Amino acid sequence: MHHNFIAGEWLAGADAAANINPSDTRDIVGQYARASQAQARTAVAAAAAAQPRWAALTPMQRSEALDHIGSELLARQGELADLLAREEGKALPDAAGEVLRAAHIFKFFAGEALRVGGELLGSTRANMTVEISREPVGVVTIITPWNFPLAIPAWKIAPALAYGNAVVFKPAELVPGCAWALAEIISRAGLPTGTFNLVMGRGRELGGVLLEDPGVQAITFTGSESTGRKVAQSAVGRPGAMAKFQLEMGGKNPLVVLDDADIEQAVACAINGAFYSTGQRCTASSRLIVTDAIHDRFVAGMVDAMKNLVVGDARAPGTVIGPVVDQSQLEQDLRYIGLGTQEGAKLASGGNAMEQWNGQPGFYLQPALFTETTPAMTINREEIFGPVASVIRVKDADEALKVANDTPFGLSAGVVTQSLKNAARFKRELQAGMVMVNAPTAGVDPHVPFGGRKGSSHGPREQGRYAAEFFTTVKTAYVNP
251 in contact with ligand NAD (CB under 6 A): yes
Q: Which of 203, 322, 350, 367 touches ligand NAD (CB under 6 A)?
A: 203
Q: Is 372 a catalytic residue?
A: no
Contact set for ligand NAD, span 211-250 (CB under 6 A): 211, 222-224, 227, 230-231, 248-250
Q: Which of 140, 383, 400, 434 touches ligand NAD (CB under 6 A)?
A: 383
Site string for ligand NAD, 154-173 (x = CB under 6 A): ----------------x-xx
Give the rounded distance of the alpha carbon of 79 from its chain centre: 21
Helix ranges (H only) for 276-377 are: 292-305, 327-342
88 in contact with ligand NAD (CB under 6 A): no
- Which stretch, 186-194, 203-211, 265-273, 292-300, contacts ligand NAD (CB under 6 A)? 203-211
336 in contact with ligand NAD (CB under 6 A): no
| CB closer to ligand NAD out of 204 and 307 | 204
By CB under 6 A, the count of residues binding ligand NAD is: 28
Helix ranges (H only) for 289-447 are: 292-305, 327-342, 378-381, 397-405, 420-429
Smallest gap, in angstroms, from Cβ of residue 208 to ligand NAD? Answer: 8
Helix ranges (H only) for 188-291 are: 203-212, 225-237, 263-275
| CB closer to ligand NAD out of 325 and 369 | 325
Those residues whose C-beta lies under 8 Å from the C-beta of residue 150, and which sit 6 or more positions away, are: 73, 80, 84, 98, 99, 101, 102, 178, 182
Question: What does the buried/exposed string (b/e) look like for 138-156 if buried means 16 or more CB atoms within 10 Å of the residue's CB?
Answer: bbbbbbbbbbbbbbbbbbb
Smallest gap, in angstroms, from Cβ of residue 397 to ligand NAD? Answer: 27
307 in contact with ligand NAD (CB under 6 A): no
| CB closer to ligand NAD out of 65 and 211 | 211
Catalytic position from the list 72, 87, 112, 248: 248
Name the CA radius of gyration of the chain, rounded: 23
Smallest gap, in angstroms, from Cβ of residue 347 to ligand NAD? Answer: 23
Contact set for ligand NAD, span 420-459 (CB under 6 A): 456
Reduced 3-state DSSP string for 122-158: ECCCCCCEEEEEEEECCEEEEECCCCCCCHHHHHHHH
Q: Is 248 a catalytic residue?
A: yes
User: Pick from 138, 237, 144: which is nearest to 471 by CA?
Assistant: 138
Residue of minimal CB distance from ligand NAD?
203
- Is 28 exposed, middle or buried (CB count within 10 Å of its CB: 0-12, 13-18, 19+)? exposed
| CB closer to ligand NAD out of 37 and 187 | 37
Q: How many residues does the chain have?
A: 481
Q: Which of 18, 126, 127, 204 touches ligand NAD (CB under 6 A)?
A: 204
Neighbours of 83 (CB within 10 A): 23
- Which stretch, 146-154, 302-310, 396-404, 441-449, contacts ligand NAD (CB under 6 A)? 146-154
Q: How far apart are CA 247 and CA 282, in angstroms?
A: 13
User: Pick from 452, 476, 470: which is nearest to 217 by CA?
Assistant: 470
Smallest gap, in angstroms, from Cβ of residue 283 to ligand NAD? Answer: 7
Contact positions toward ligand NAD, by CB under 6 A? 143-148, 170, 172-173, 203-204, 207, 211, 222-224, 227, 230-231, 248-251, 282, 383, 385, 411, 456
Residues annotated catalytic, as ranges: 248, 282
